[in-house]
């Protein structure tokens, strides 16, 4: 039996590569002769850089850029080749990802996307004019102001004082000037890889949907929403590009909006990575597929990685199993897309305990799945 393993990372515990290793170890306990094809996946968030660079046999390049609080950090971008073209790969979460902040530090008023602008500028300096930019997992909600400022835009308050581009600066901005944006951007092809389709504003927008998980209390959410609307109007007037309502504009706290202003194309992260990894072709050559993520629920249906993998498997006529850290609200809605939906958590436990035992729990669940597959090969005999 040939099994494709195509999971996302289990956020905060296991990378996608570690998930593949643990899945194989558990399944092989019951199917020792099985052949495995690892395809670690990502959707634009944490792990995207590693997945793309490894899949394309690329290289990592160290750069300096602003971190989540604006102070310089060392991080990496990627360099891959696609045919005759050189592409830079940039993962936003490397510069201001939510896991970079302790829970007590999380407050989108005090974080900035400026590091992404620094990374894009570094890629331009290195000669890249084609870039893939992963947007998931950010700690920011600044509408991309920080990124745009790092690329030459100028934002100022009522006294004419230049703003750095923190979330709190959205409420202070009175002037937006994009005329000094780096001229090299006009030569670029920018692909923004994102797993969300939210607009910038409103009930389904960046702030109201994702602000709370980044540390915004209800009062801060409303403050940021009103400020974001003013800021978006200024940026649209300055750029002549109306994109606040475009799908994906709300990605990464409004980074999608800022990138659309620069002429970027937003593409589902899973699609971009699946193409680079030749996922469809490799599934066709397998007998079954196993995917998973940290937590699966009804929201998984809205374009998250496991459902995308399931669609590729369905097109190839292959059974696909979901093996996730937990199954949340309304998870039975996923059953039409999978041969089975399995959770690694088998008993009541505190979240901290589940996170600490993620590898052991995944191994046990994978062995359970291996037993199911072995019995199916044997016609479910004893």
Q: Which CATH number fits the domain that encloses residue 143?
A: 3.90.1510.10
| SS3 label, residue 42 | coil
Question: 183 in a domain, yes or no?
Answer: yes
Q: What is the pLDDT along the chain (382 residues), one digit of tens a residue?
A: 999 999 998 887 898 999 999 999 999 999 999 999 999 998 888 889 998 998 888 999 999 999 999 999 999 999 999 889 999 999 999 999 998 999 999 999 999 999 999 999 999 999 999 999 999 889 999 999 999 999 999 999 999 999 999 999 999 999 999 999 999 999 999 999 987 889 999 999 999 999 999 999 999 999 999 999 999 999 999 999 999 999 999 999 999 999 999 999 999 888 888 888 889 999 999 999 999 999 898 878 877 889 989 999 999 999 999 999 999 889 999 999 999 999 998 777 787 777 778 899 999 999 999 999 998 877 755 5
Which of 269, 296, 330 finishes a domain?
A: 269
Which of 236, 269, 302 finishes a domain?
A: 269
CATH number of the domain bearing residue 342: 3.40.50.10350
Question: 279 in a domain, yes or no?
Answer: no
Closest CA to 321 of 20, 1, 5: 5
Residues 211, 71 share a domain = yes
Residues 114, 189 share a domain = yes
Q: What CA–CA distance (Å, rounded) separates 196 from 88?
A: 22
Please give the pLDDT value at position 273. 86
Say what the pTM is: 0.85
Q: What CA–CA distance (Å, rounded) separates 318 from 199?
A: 34
Residues 185, 130 share a domain = yes
Please give the pLDDT value at position 380. 59
Q: How many residues does the chain have?
A: 382
Closest CA to 90 of 272, 307, 302, 228: 272
Residues 259, 160 share a domain = yes
Contact assessment for residue 80 and residue 56, using Cβ atoms and an 8 Å cutoff: yes
Total number of domains in the chain: 2
Which of 215, 244, 269 finishes a domain?
A: 269
Q: What CA–CA distance (Å, rounded) separates 3 from 271?
A: 21
| SS3 label, residue 82 | strand
> In the β-sheet with 35-38, what is the strand arrangement from edge to edge?
35-38, 2-5, 288-291, 320-324, 340-343
Q: What CA–CA distance (Å, rounded) separates 286 from 313?
A: 10
Please give the pLDDT value at position 304. 82
Helix (H) / strand (E) containing 22: helix 16-30
Question: 274 in a domain, yes or no?
Answer: no
Dihedral sign from CA coordinates of 307, 312, 313, 314: positive
Question: 216 in a domain, yes or no?
Answer: yes
Residues 52, 35 share a domain = no
Residues 236, 303 share a domain = no
Per the listing, tokens 């991309």 go with: 144
Residues 305, 242 share a domain = no
Question: 278 in a domain, yes or no?
Answer: no
DSSP string, 302-335: TT-HHHHHHHHHHHHT--EEEEESEE-TTGGGGG
Question: 277 in a domain, yes or no?
Answer: no
Residues 248, 147 share a domain = yes
Please give the pLDDT value at position 29. 96
According to DSSP, residue 151 is labeled: T
Residues 292, 348 share a domain = yes
Please give the pLDDT value at position 382. 54
Q: What CA–CA distance (Å, rounded) separates 295 from 342?
A: 11
Residues 241, 197 share a domain = yes
Residues 313, 359 share a domain = yes
Residues 175, 83 share a domain = yes
* Structural domain range at position 366: 2-40+284-377
* Span 119-153, pLDDT tens digits: 999 999 999 999 999 998 899 999 999 999 999 99
Contact assessment for residue 255 and residue 138, using Cβ atoms and an 8 Å cutoff: yes
* Span 28-40, pLDDT tens digits: 999 999 999 999 9
Dihedral sign from CA coordinates of 181, 182, 185, 187: positive
* Span 318-356, pLDDT tens digits: 999 999 999 988 999 999 999 999 999 877 778 777 777
């Amino acid at each position: 039996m040939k099994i494709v393993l195509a999971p996302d990372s289990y956020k905060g515990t296991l990378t996608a590569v570690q998930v593949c290793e643990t899945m194989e170890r558990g399944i092989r306990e019951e199917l020792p002769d099985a052949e495995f094809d690892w395809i670690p996946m990502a959707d634009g968030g944490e792990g995207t850089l590693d997945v793309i660079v490894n899949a394309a046999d690329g290289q990592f390049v160290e750069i300096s850029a602003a971190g989540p609080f604006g102070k310089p950090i060392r991080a990496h971008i990627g360099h891959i080749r696609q045919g005759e073209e050189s592409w830079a790969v940039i993962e936003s979460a490397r510069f201001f990802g939510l896991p970079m902040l302790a829970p007590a530090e999380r407050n989108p008023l005090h974080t900035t996307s400026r590091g992404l602008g620094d990374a894009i500028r570094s890629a331009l300096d290195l000669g890249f004019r084609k870039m893939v930019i992963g947007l998931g997992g950010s700690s920011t909600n600044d509408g991309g102001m920080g990124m745009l400022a790092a690329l030459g835009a100028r934002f100022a308050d009522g006294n004419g004082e230049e703003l750095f581009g923190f979330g709190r600066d959205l409420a202070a901005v009175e002037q937006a000037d994009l005329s000094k944006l780096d001229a090299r951007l006009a030569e670029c092809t920018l692909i923004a890889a994102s797993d969300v389709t939210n607009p910038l504003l409103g009930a389904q927008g960046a702030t109201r949907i994702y602000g709370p998980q980044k540390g915004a209390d209800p009062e801060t959410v409303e403050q940021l929403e009103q400020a974001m609307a003013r800021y978006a109007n200024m940026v649209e007037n300055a750029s002549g590009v109306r994109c606040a309502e475009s799908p994906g504009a709300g990605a990464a706290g409004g980074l999608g909006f800022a990138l659309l202003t620069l002429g970027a194309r937003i593409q589902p992260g899973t699609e971009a990575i699946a193409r680079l990894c030749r996922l469809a072709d490799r599934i066709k050559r397998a007998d079954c597929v196993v995917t998973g993520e940290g937590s699966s629920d009804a929201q998984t249906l809205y374009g998250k990685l496991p459902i995308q993998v399931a669609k590729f498997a369905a097109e190839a006529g292959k059974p696909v199993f979901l093996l996730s850290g937990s199954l949340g609200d309304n998870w039975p809605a996923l059953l039409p897309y999978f041969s089975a939906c399995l959770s690694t958590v088998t008993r009541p436990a505190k979240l901290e305990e589940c996170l600490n035992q993620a590898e052991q729990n995944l191994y046990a669940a994978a062995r359970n799945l291996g037993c199911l597959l072995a019995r199916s090969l044997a016609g479910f005999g004893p």
